Structure 1
Amino acid sequence: MSGRGAVELLWAVLLAATVSAQELTSSGPAPAEVQLGRPAVVSLSVDVAQAEATLGPLPKIDGLEVAGGPPVETGADVRTTTWTLRLTPRRPGVFHIPPFLVDAGGRTLRTAPMRLVATDDPMGARYAFVETSTLGSTYYVKQPIPVVVRFGFDAKFLEANVSQLFRQKLDVPAQLRAPWLDKIEGAAIRVPGAPGDRRSFVLNDRVAAAMTVGERVVDGRPFTVLEVTRVFVADEVGELVLPEPLLRFAYATRFREDFISGRVPIDRNEAFVAGAPVVITVRPLPESDRPSTFSGAVGRFSVSARASVGELDAGETMQLVLRISGDGDLGAVQPPTLDALPGFHVQGMIKGSDGDGPTFTYDIVPLNGSVVRVPPVPFTFFDPGPPATYRTVRSAPIPLVVHGDPGEVPDTPDVGVVETRVVPGVDDIYGLKGGGSSDPGDLGNPGLTLWAVMVLPTVLAGAVFLRIRARDRDRSDPAGVRARRAAVFFRAASGTAGVDIRVAFAEYIAARLRCPAPAVIAPGLGARLRDAGVDGGLADDVAAALEGLVAERYGAPVTADADVAALVEDLESVFLLRGRKP
C-alpha cells in the first residue's frame, strides 16, 4: 500500500470513529417543578462531523405546550448543534415526557425520558377563574354545539391590583389561551353575534371582545364575569376534545403615578389559572327511518314561502321564495328539491339570504288554468330532541289565480321571469288620443264626429289585425317575449322594495342570452355577451355587476341599483339598435 493510501485509510477510520462517537446530550427540564403557565427549559446538543443534524417531531403531551426555536450551530470541522425547548404546563399535574429524537448523519439519537411537575399558581387560583361549559356532553354530527368559556376576577382585586399586561391598553388586561376557540380539527366554528356590554382582552395572540355577564359570588367575594361564545359543528363521529383554557394576567401591590404612563406597577408579577378540559361525544345520525327528502340539516327549523304574484297566465314565470329559519347550522342548509311540485314546471333557483337565514328563489311556471295554489313545500331535518327523530315541516299553501285552459299545457321556455302582460310599443297600440269633450252631451265638431264614425271601424280593424300579428309573433318567438318582459320586470323591480334585484338582473341577462338564469352566474359571462354582439367594455361591466350582486350575500360592498339599471338600459340599446332578435 502506498503512503498516500495509508493516510487516506487513516483519515477514514478517524472520521468513522468520530461519527460513531456522536452523542446527544440533554439538560432539564429546568426547573423540574414549575407553577402553572410558567415555562421549564430543556436543552439538547449534539456534535456532528461532516453531517447534518435535525430535530425530530416534538411530542404532543396533553396539557403541556412544547415549543422550540431554530437550532444554533457552532464550530467548523465538528459542528455542535443546540436546540432550546420550552415546556409550558397548561394545567397542574405530573407530565411524563417521552425521549426527544435527533437525526445525526443518518443515525437516530434519543434522550432519556423526562419528568416535569406543575403546581397551581396560588395568586391565580385565589383571584381569578376560567371554565368551559356546554349544554351537554353528547351531540350528533352536524348538530350545533354551543360552547361558552367564562373567566372572571375578584372585583376589588381587578380594580385595585390588576395591571396592564401589554403595551396596548385593554378593558380587561388579561390573556386567554385557548387555541381551539379559533380552530379545531374535526369541526367547523361559528362566532355568533351577541348584543351586550363587550370588553377588550387578548384571546390567544390577538385583541378580542368578551361580553360581561354580571357578577358571581365566590367564597363570599363578588367576581366580575365575562364570557366568549362559539358554536361548533362536528364533521366527524368520535370525541371532540376541548383542552384546558389558560388565563394569564399581571398584578401588583404597589404603584406609582407617571405623568405620561399614568398608573405604573412597582412590584409587577404575573399569575395564571387553568380550567378543566371538556370532552364531547359526537354520535352518527341514525340510519333507520331516514326520509329520502333528508338533505343533511340538523337542528330545529321552519320553512315559509311567498310568491312574487298572485295572478298570472298559464305558461308565465313567477318567483317562489322559500325561507329557512330556526336553531341549526343555517349556512349548511341545502335547498329543498321542487322537482315534483304538482302543477308547475321548475326552471331554476338562486340562493340568497335575508340576514336571518337562507332564502331560495325558484323560477316556477304554472302549467295550466287548473292550478289554484302553490302547494306546501316540505323541508326535512333531523331534530336532536329529545326525542331525537327526523321531522318534516311544510310551508303554508299560497292561493293563486292562473288564467288558461285547464287542460292545456303551454310551451315553457327554460327559464323566465314574467311580471307584466303589456309592453308599450310591442304588445299594445299606443299613441292614439281621444278627441272631444269630457261632457257626454257635447258633440263637438259634427264633421269630426262624422269622420270618426267613418274611420273608427277601420282603426279598430287595424288594431285587431296588429294584435293578431303580435300574438302570432309571440307564439313564434317565445324567447323574444321573455326578453322584453324580463326588461320590463327589471325596471319595475329596481324601484320596488322587497324585490331581489339580483334575480331580476340575472333573468334579464339570461333572457338576452337565451339560457337559464342560473347559467349566467358563472365565469365567462363577459365573453358570452361579447359573442352576442355586446361591446367588450359593456360586457365586462355587466359581468362585474352581476358578480358584485352575488358577492353581496357574503359581505361585499353593495352595488347601487341605479348603476345596474343603467347597464340594463345600455344593453337594451345595443340589442335594439343592432336589430337582433333576443
Structure 2
Amino acid sequence: MITYACCWIVGTLGLVHQEATEISVGDVARIEVRVDDVNHFVGEVVEVSLHFGLRENFLRDHILQTFHNELDVAVQLDVPWWAEVEGATLLDEVDPEVGSSFVLNGRLARRERSERPVLDGFVEFQIERRMRAERAGNLAFARAALTFEYATRFQETFLDGRVPLDKTTARLTSEPLAIRIRELPVLGRPAEFSGAIGKFSIRGEASTNTVRVGEPLEWTITIEGRGNLNSFEAQQLEKQLADFHVLGRIEKRLAGKREFVYELVPLRELEALPAIDFAFFDPDLERYRTVRTESIALTVQPKGDGVELPRQAPVKAASGSEGPARDGSPADSPVERTDIGALKTLAAPSLSIEDERLSSTQLIGVLSAPWLLWLAGSVWLSRRARRKEDLDGCRARAAAAAFQEQTAARSVSLREAYAEFVAARLRCSGAAVVAPGLAQRLVKAGVPTELAEQSAVALGELLDERFGARAGSIDPSQLTAPDSVRALVERLEEVFARLEAST
C-alpha cells in the first residue's frame, strides 16, 4: 500500500518519464520541390509541386502542437515563391476546404493526404502552383522550408498529462530549383498558329445540314486538351471560313476544354462545311502540330426571295465561362454585335449604354449614402442643440402639453391657460397677447386667417373683451366652451408644429 502511494506521488510530481528515443530529423521528415520538366517555352503553363512528408509514427507520437489552434499536421511551410515568381504569371488556384490542416506562409491551409501507398512509413502531402511563363530565361525557385517542434522524452503527470522534456525545433529545406524558359521556334510555325501550347484535339458540329444562302446556322467548335487552353486567340479559326459571313461568336470555357459557337451565314451554294485546321506547339516533341475537324455535310440551297446577303465585316465576339479557367487567363471581354438586316443573331451578353448609366447611378448612390446620412445626422444634431439653447423655443414646444396638464388639473383657469399657450407660441409674455391686433400677429406667425380670428375672439371672450378681433359671423359663445378652446389649441398646435418642421 505504501509502495503504491509512493509511486502515485512520484508520478504526480513528474518523476516518472518515458525513455528517450534517438531520432534523426532527416529520417522522419522530408521536403522536396518537383517539376515534370526543367525545360519549358514562353507561353507554356508550368506546374511546380512541393511535397512534404512525415513518418507516420513520428507524426503521431513526437510532433508537438505549438500553434494557437490544434492542427492535423502541426508543421509550418515557408514557400517564398508561392505568391510571386519573376518572369511568370501565377494562375488562380482554389484552396481546398477539406483535408489535413497545416500552416502555409503564415496562413491555414488544407490538403488531402497523397494517394500513393505508404510504403516507407511516411504520410505525404502535396501542394501545387501553376504559372504561365512570360519571357525567356530562368524561373528561379528558392528553398522552401518545413518547420516543426518535436520531443523524444516525455513525462506523465497527473495534472498535465504528457509533458515534453526535450522540446526541439527542427527545420528542413528543399533544394533550390531553376526552370529554363525558351522562345518558341520560328522555323516550321504554321500560318494558323495562334499561341496554343500543349496537346489538343478539335471537333466541330453544325446545328443543321440544310440551309439557304443568306440564312444563319450555328457551328460549334470544341478544343480539348492540356496546356494553355485559355491563352490562345480564336481569330485564326474564322479566317478559314471564306465562304461564310461570321455574324458573331459566343465562347464558353469549361474544365479541360474551350468551346466556340459561331453564327454563320453562307454566301453561296455549298455542299459541306469545310474542315478547320488548328495548330499548336507540342512542348514534348518540341515541334508544331496541326489537328483538323472533319468536313461536315451541308446542303446550301439558293437564297430565297427578298434575302439580302450581308457585307463582310470583322467578327465581334462575346464570351462566357462555366467554372474557372484551367490556366487562369481572363475571358475575352463581351462585345456588342451589330444585327444585319432581318437575319437572326445569337444572343450575346452585352452591356448597353443604359445599363452602364444605371450602374454608375447606383454606384454613386452607394458611395454617397454614408455622406448623406452623416450630413442629415449633423443637421439634426445641430438643430437639436439649437433647440436646447433656445429657451423661448422650448417654452413654445411645451405649450400645448402645459395647457392640457393645467386644464386637466384645473390648477389655473381656462382663460389663463389659453392665454399662456398663445403667448408661448408667439414667444411673448402673457400680458402681450391681451392687446389689440392678436389676430394679425397670429396670421403673421403663419396661422391661417380664419383660425387666427377664431383664436383672437375666443381669448377676447374669455377676457370679456374684444381686442382687435372682428367677430363677423362668429358666435363667441361657441368658442369659449372648454371643449371648443381645447379644439382651438389642438388646431393651433398642428399649425405651429408644421411650421417648425419646415424650417
Hey, what does 1:393 align to over in structure 2? 291
Counterparts of 1:268 and 1:320, CA distance in 2: 68
Match of 1:144 among 45, 48, 54: 45
Hey, what does 2:195 align to over in structure 1? 296
* 1:283 and 2:182 correspond: yes
Hey, what does 1:155 align to over in structure 2? 56
Contact 2:336 2:351 in 1 (8 A): no
Q: CA deviation at 1:512?
A: 11
Amino acid at match of 1:341: L
Hey, what does 2:350 align to over in structure 1? 521
Match of 2:77 among 166, 173, 176: 176
Change (3 A) 1:344 1:508: closer
Change (3 A) 1:247 1:509: same
- Taking only aligned residues, the RMSD between alpha carbons, in angstroms, comes to 4.1
For 1:217-255, what per-residue CA distance to the aligned partner results, in whole angstroms no more than 9, with x for missing partners? 6xxx52211111223321110111111110011223326
* 1:203 and 2:104 correspond: yes
Counterparts of 2:161 and 2:294, CA distance in 1: 64
Hey, what does 1:347 align to over in structure 2? 247
TM-score, with structure 2 as normaliser: 0.55
Describe the SS at the equivalent of 2:246: strand
Q: Which runs of 5+ in 2 are unaligned?
A: 1-22, 314-333, 363-503
Residue correspondences, number: 317
Contact 2:209 2:297 in 1 (8 A): yes
For 1:2-54, what per-residue CA distance to the aligned partner results, in whole angstroms no more than 9, with x for missing partners? xxxxxxxxxxxxxxxxxxxxxxxxxxxxxxxxxxxxxxxxxxxxxxxxxxxxx
Counterparts of 1:170 and 1:162, CA distance in 2: 11
Contact 1:382 1:390 in 2 (8 A): yes
Describe the SS at the equivalent of 1:231: strand
Contact 1:197 1:212 in 2 (8 A): no
Counterparts of 2:299 and 2:60, CA distance in 1: 69
Match of 2:267 among 359, 367, 379: 367
Amino acid at match of 1:298: I
For 1:141-165, what per-residue CA distance to the aligned partner results, in whole angstroms no more than 9, with x for missing partners? 1222222211111211111111223
* 1:272 and 2:177 correspond: no
Identity among equivalent positions (%) equals 30
Question: Normalized per residue, which structure has more strand?
Answer: 1
Describe the SS at the equivalent of 2:70: coil
For 1:352-377, what per-residue CA distance to the aligned partner results, in whole angstroms no more than 9, with x for missing partners? 22333222222211123x22222112
Describe the SS at the equivalent of 1:171: coil
Counterparts of 1:513 and 1:522, CA distance in 2: 22
Q: CA deviation at 1:204?
A: 1.2
Q: CA deviation at 1:130?
A: 0.3
Contact 2:202 2:292 in 1 (8 A): yes
Counterparts of 1:321 and 1:256, CA distance in 2: 70
* 1:314 and 2:213 correspond: yes
* 1:379 and 2:208 correspond: no
Change (3 A) 1:364 1:279: same
Match of 2:67 among 166, 169, 174: 166
Amino acid at match of 2:350: I
Counterparts of 1:137 and 1:507, CA distance in 2: 43
Match of 1:403 among 301, 316, 332: 301
Counterparts of 2:61 and 2:195, CA distance in 1: 52
Describe the SS at the equivalent of 1:201: strand
Counterparts of 1:380 and 1:394, CA distance in 2: 9
Contact 2:210 2:300 in 1 (8 A): yes
Contact 1:299 1:383 in 2 (8 A): yes
Amino acid at match of 2:353: G
Q: CA deviation at 1:332?
A: 0.9
Contact 2:213 2:302 in 1 (8 A): yes
Change (3 A) 1:184 1:272: same
Q: CA deviation at 1:320?
A: 1.7
Hey, what does 1:128 align to over in structure 2? 29
For 1:156-195, what per-residue CA distance to the aligned partner results, in whole angstroms no more than 9, with x for missing partners? 1111111223112222111111121232111123467899
Q: CA deviation at 1:334?
A: 1.7
Contact 1:140 1:285 in 2 (8 A): yes
Describe the SS at the equivalent of 1:157: helix
Match of 1:248 among 144, 147, 150: 147
Describe the SS at the equivalent of 2:193: coil
Change (3 A) 1:205 1:193: closer
Q: Which runs of 5+ in 1 are unaligned?
A: 1-121, 416-504, 529-535, 542-582
Amino acid at match of 1:157: F
Counterparts of 1:366 and 1:155, CA distance in 2: 67
Change (3 A) 1:197 1:189: same
Counterparts of 1:237 and 1:508, CA distance in 2: 38
Higher relative contact order (CA 8 A, sep 6+): 2
Counterparts of 1:193 and 1:140, CA distance in 2: 25
Counterparts of 1:525 and 1:519, CA distance in 2: 17
Q: CA deviation at 1:256?
A: 5.9
Counterparts of 2:163 and 2:353, CA distance in 1: 62
Match of 2:132 among 233, 238, 256: 233
TM-score, with structure 1 as normaliser: 0.48
